[in-house]
Amino acid sequence: MIVRNINDFTGTKFDVDTETWSSKRLLVKADNVGFSLHDTIIKAGTETEIWYKNHVEAVYCIEGEGEIEVLATGTIYPIQPGTLYVLNGHEKHLLRGKSQMRMICVFNPPTTGQEVHDAEGTYPLN
């Protein structure tokens, strides 16, 4: 059994900060549970281009407002608390935070916990 508290992640190597988002990786590959679980903040007024070609990501918004644009189609979905989106087609997308958003993210396969997006918006397959 694993029991953790988000407060214990602040400033650790599993607390990753970038220009447009920060993310605490609460469960990672080394935990051997088959997925990773992240508590992510999308910063207000930001846009991030993302393409998880090696992962499926499920994202559940619990705070804030924003939108996701699917680049292949131009379709825009609003995001608000209670919205879930799942990138089960590895969709390349733009994620926009209108206000600061807090998202609970699940990755399969799991991340190591240190990932930041490369030039394509991708995380490597570890």
Ligand X SMILES: CC(=O)NCC[C@H](N)C(=O)O
Residues of this chain that bind ligand X (CB under 6 A): 21, 23, 38, 40, 50, 57, 59, 95, 103, 105, 115
Nearer to ligand X, 1 or 72 (CB): 72
Nearer to ligand X, 72 or 103 (CB): 103
Q: How far apart are CA 119 and CA 96, in angstroms?
A: 18
Q: How far is the CB of 50 from ligand X (least distance, A)?
A: 5
**What is the distance, to the nearest Å, from the Cα of residue 123 to the centroid of all Cα atoms in its chain?**
11
Q: How far is the CB of 81 from ligand X (least distance, A)?
A: 14
Residues 6+ apart with CB under 8 A from 5: none
User: Which residues is 76 bridged to in the sheet?
Assistant: 69
Q: How far is the CB of 92 from ligand X (least distance, A)?
A: 12
Structure tokens at 36: 């990773």
